């Protein structure tokens, strides 16, 4: 599937240069791949709106960033349409197969059968939502036919694209799993080995599957030929999908969660994501402090204590709201935040084990993707899409080119942390047709001068990254400053304050330890945030891609 096109590679490299663009023209797009950003503009230039562009960017990312998202996965699209001031959250999260149950990955004694079962191969895969969501977006929000918006993705799948360093490094991480499955191996490896730098990846089966979707809409994926191939491959490999699972899959439109932090309106992800609730709860705790007037050490300490408490409630209360009842109003109320704030001491941490409630340990991992689009009229899309770990379950359903997700690991499937070290409760246990709790946090921020669109991949750290970016939005106007900000993270359990090397000085590390924090520098920088902004007074736009990634942001 690979050819070498050095010239193309060099041209692409030039294009990949980190970008932040500023201009007074129509639309800003920031995504994790230059070809995906270009696909969005291609569709706009054909008369599409930002929602058509979102279809094009999502589908192109599925092709050119197969480690992060894809037709075999799901995602969330937070959308705002200026003409009728409508804001909606499109929940295209994967669902547990109907044959799934809470003990799917444990034996009769409650012991994990094989820790890889929820991560690798067909049994780790939940029913994909991304294809249905693309159809939904095109039908309910777009101006162009779905086939038109899918055209750039089909072209890149058929003609191929030059793989970058990010792709190769994630592929290296997951090569052992990909090698186990012939259809995956044939697409992503070359004679069982990693491809060379600047190799071209062509995905002809995926182009054909996208073409079915383009021609037949929903039925092009969830019925007929593609569905037959998906079911045959999954069942042969020990998976539990059935015809009904594919027929029954539905996207849900939900009301986003909305809150306020010191004059900034925050619109973010409701369940099945934990993102918006944890973000707003942490911000409400912090809103009583004038952080700008405090020294940096106290700021870090207070932000960490707010993260600890909000992530604790994630573990205790959150799951799919179609299945469990979540006390959203209480969790987001000022009184509740005041109660949590009263347990925060300026001179010491509150160890996580002293927070009450029964949780079952669970964890997070891999890769995912986010893009942000806004036009000069304020139409906008924040989308975070995932197949969970890099290259999902590593399993391509033969003949489809579709790499399946391993999102089942985002459920609490046993007593113990999940792939991201996250713990949870009964609210996030597996049930047939249920959506697994996510941390994905596509978000809009608005004050009297600006409307921003942002989000990032990064597993359990997604929410703390969006929290830090929101606090930075309160201080600074340039999206580059929100996306490049050094990061730190606390998720209640493990009771550890993680930080990027550049986030704290040595002195701050010592002082934070003195307050009782357990500190751990992350091995690498993390996250890949993409943000776009509309300045209300001038109607100008700006966009930025995280310098940690290979994304591309521009305004045209
Ligand atoms: O939905 C979630 O929370 C996870 N499946 C997201 C995974 C992720 O962001 C991996 N990125 N590094």
What HEC string does 508-550 produce? HHHHHHHCCCCEEECCCCCCCCEEEEEECCCCEEEEEECCCCC
Q: Would you say residue 35 has pLDDT above 70? A: yes
For residue 410, the CA-to-ligand 1 centroid distance in Å is 8
For a substitution probing ligand 1, which of 386, 428, 456 has the most ligand atoms within 8 Å of its CB?
386
3-state class percentages of the chain: helix first, strand second, coil last, to nearest 5: 40, 20, 40
For residue 481, the CA-to-ligand 1 centroid distance in Å is 23
The answer to whether residue 461 is domain-embedded is yes
The answer to whether residue 410 is domain-embedded is yes
For residue 155, the CA-to-ligand 1 centroid distance in Å is 27
The answer to whether residue 91 is domain-embedded is no
Structural domain tally of the chain? 2
Structure tokens at 38: 């270009």
- pLDDT-derived band at 258, boundaries 50, 70, 90: very high
Q: Which atom of ligand 1 is nearest to the CA of 527?
A: 12
Ligand 1: residue whose CA is nearest its atom 2: 438
Query: In this structure, are 175 and 124 located in the same domain?
Result: yes
For a substitution probing ligand 1, which of 268, 318, 364 has the most ligand atoms within 8 Å of its CB?
364
Averaged pLDDT, 211-233: 98
Query: In this structure, are 387 and 484 located in the same domain?
Result: no
Task: Report the 10 Å Cβ neighbour count for 313.
Answer: 23
Q: How far apart are CA 136 and CA 316, in angstroms?
A: 32
Q: Would you say residue 23 has pLDDT above 70? A: no
Q: What are phi and psi of 443, to 5 degrees?
A: -140, 145
Averaged pLDDT, 15-22: 38
Taking the complete model, does pTM exceed 0.85, yes or no? yes
Query: In this structure, are 268 and 376 located in the same domain?
Result: no
Q: How far apart are CA 68 and CA 371, in angstroms?
A: 12
Structure tokens at 397: 């359903």
Query: In this structure, are 269 and 200 located in the same domain?
Result: no
- pLDDT-derived band at 360, boundaries 50, 70, 90: low
Domain extent for 312: 254-360+440-537
Query: In this structure, are 63 and 132 located in the same domain?
Result: yes
Return the percentage of the chain with pLDDT > 90, whole number. 89
Q: Which atom of ligand 1 is nearest to the CA of 528?
A: 12
Q: Which residues are known catalytic residues?
A: 368
Q: Would you say residue 363 has pLDDT above 70? A: no
Q: Would you say residue 9 has pLDDT above 70? A: no
Q: Which atom of ligand 1 is nearest to the CA of 457?
A: 9
Ligand 1: residue whose CA is nearest its atom 1: 438
Query: In this structure, are 406 and 344 located in the same domain?
Result: no
Over residues 297-341, the pLDDT tens digits come to: 999 999 999 999 999 999 999 999 999 999 999 999 999 999 999
Q: What are phi and psi of 492, to 5 degrees?
A: 75, -65
The answer to whether residue 57 is domain-embedded is yes
CATH code assigned at 346: 1.10.246.130
Task: Look at residue 201 in the predicted model and tell me its pLDDT.
Answer: 98
Ligand 1: residue whose CA is nearest its atom 6: 459
| Bridge partners of residue 444, in order along the sequence | 267, 453
Q: How far apart are CA 131 and CA 210, in angstroms?
A: 9
Boundary-marking domain end, from 378, 401, 428 = 428
CA neighbor of 164 nearest in space, from 35, 28, 1: 35
Query: In this structure, are 51 and 176 located in the same domain?
Result: yes
Element at 374 (helix H, strand E):
strand 368-375
Q: Which atom of ligand 1 is nearest to the CA of 456?
A: 9
For residue 67, the CA-to-ligand 1 centroid distance in Å is 12
Boundary-marking domain end, from 400, 428, 456 = 428
The answer to whether residue 435 is domain-embedded is no
Query: In this structure, are 173 and 70 located in the same domain?
Result: yes
Q: Which residue has the tokens 């101006």?
A: 143
The answer to whether residue 58 is domain-embedded is yes
Ligand 1 lining (C-beta closer than 6 Å): 364-368, 386, 388, 407, 410, 438-440, 457-459, 462
The answer to whether residue 83 is domain-embedded is no
For residue 367, the CA-to-ligand 1 centroid distance in Å is 6
Q: What are phi and psi of 239, to 5 degrees?
A: -80, 175
- Over the range 339-365, which residues count as b (16 or more CB within 10 Å of their CB) and which as e? ebbeebeeeebbebeebeeebbbbbbb
Burial of residue 536, with CB atoms counted within 10 A of its CB: 0-12 exposed, 13-18 middle, 19 or more buried: middle
For a substitution probing ligand 1, which of 74, 441, 462, 489 has the most ligand atoms within 8 Å of its CB?
462
The answer to whether residue 542 is domain-embedded is no
Check: CB of residue 386 under 8 Å from CB of residue 75: yes
Task: Look at residue 359 in the predicted model and tell me its pLDDT.
Answer: 67
Q: How far apart are CA 205 and CA 209, in angstroms?
A: 6
- pLDDT-derived band at 99, boundaries 50, 70, 90: very high
Query: In this structure, are 310 and 383 located in the same domain?
Result: no
Query: In this structure, are 212 and 339 located in the same domain?
Result: no
Q: Would you say residue 269 has pLDDT above 90? A: yes
Query: In this structure, are 35 and 154 located in the same domain?
Result: yes
Over residues 117-175, the pLDDT tens digits come to: 999 999 999 999 999 999 999 999 999 999 999 999 999 999 999 999 999 999 999 99
For residue 119, the CA-to-ligand 1 centroid distance in Å is 13
Structure tokens at 23: 């201009």
Query: In this structure, are 324 and 381 located in the same domain?
Result: no
């Amino acid at each position: 599937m690979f050819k070498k096109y050095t010239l193309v590679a060099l041209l692409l490299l030039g294009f990949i240069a980190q970008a932040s663009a500023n201009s007074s023209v129509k639309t800003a797009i920031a995504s994790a791949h230059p070809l995906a950003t270009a696909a969005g503009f291609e569709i706009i230039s054909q008369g599409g709106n930002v929602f058509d562009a979102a279809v094009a960017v999502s589908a192109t990312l599925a092709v050119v960033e197969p480690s992060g998202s894809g037709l075999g996965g799901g995602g969330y699209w937070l959308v705002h349409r200026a003409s009728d001031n409508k804001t909606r959250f499109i929940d295209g999260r994967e669902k547990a197969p109907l044959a799934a149950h809470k003990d799917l990955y444990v034996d009769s004694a409650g012991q994990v059968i094989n820790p890889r079962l929820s991560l690798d191969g067909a049994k780790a895969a939940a029913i994909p939502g991304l294809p249905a969501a693309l159809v939904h977006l095109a039908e309910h929000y777009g101006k162009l036919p779905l086939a038109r918006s899918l055209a750039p993705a089909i072209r890149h799948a058929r003609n191929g694209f030059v793989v970058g360093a990010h792709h190769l490094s994630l592929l290296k991480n997951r090569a052992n799993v990909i090698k186990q499955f012939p259809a995956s191996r044939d697409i992503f490896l070359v004679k069982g080995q990693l491809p060379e730098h600047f190799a071209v990846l062509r995905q002809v089966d995926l182009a054909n599957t996208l073409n079915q979707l383009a021609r037949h809409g929903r039925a092009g994926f969830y019925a007929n030929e593609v569905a037959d191939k998906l079911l045959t491959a999954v069942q042969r490999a020990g998976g539990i999908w059935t015809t009904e699972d594919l027929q029954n899959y539905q996207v849900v439109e939900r009301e986003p969660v909305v809150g306020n932090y010191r004059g900034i309106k925050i619109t973010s992800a409701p369940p099945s994501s934990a993102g918006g609730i944890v973000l707003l709860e942490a911000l409400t705790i912090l809103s009583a402090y004038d952080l700008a007037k405090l020294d940096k050490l106290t700021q870090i300490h207070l932000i960490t204590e707010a993260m600890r408490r909000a992530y604790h409630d994630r573990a205790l209360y959150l799951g799919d709201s179609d299945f469990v009842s979540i006390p959203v109003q209480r969790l987001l109320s000022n009184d509740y935040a005041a109660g949590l704030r009263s347990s925060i001491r300026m001179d010491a941490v509150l160890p996580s084990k002293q927070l009450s409630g029964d949780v079952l340990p669970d964890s997070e991992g891999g890769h995912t993707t986010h893009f942000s689009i806004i036009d000069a009229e304020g139409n906008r899309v924040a989308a975070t899409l995932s197949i969970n770990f890099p290259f999902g379950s590593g399993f391509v359903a033969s003949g489809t080119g579709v790499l399946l997700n391993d999102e089942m690991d985002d459920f609490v499937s046993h007593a113990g942390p999940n792939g991201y070290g996250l713990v949870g409760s009964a609210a996030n246990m597996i049930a047939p047709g249920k959506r697994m709790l996510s941390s994905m946090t596509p978000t809009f921020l608005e004050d009297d001068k600006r409307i921003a669109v942002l989000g990032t991949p990064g597993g359990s750290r997604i929410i703390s990254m969006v929290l830090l970016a929101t606090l930075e939005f309160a201080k600074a106007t340039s999206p580059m400053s929100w996306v490049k900000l050094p990061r730190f993270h606390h998720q209640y359990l493990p009771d550890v304050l993680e930080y990027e090397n550049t986030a704290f000085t040595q002195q701050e590390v010592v002082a934070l330890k003195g307050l009782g924090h357990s500190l751990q520098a992350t091995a690498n920088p993390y996250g890949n945030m993409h943000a776009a902004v509309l300045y209300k007074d001038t109607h100008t736009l700006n966009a930025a891609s995280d310098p940690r990634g290979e994304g591309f942001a521009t305004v045209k």
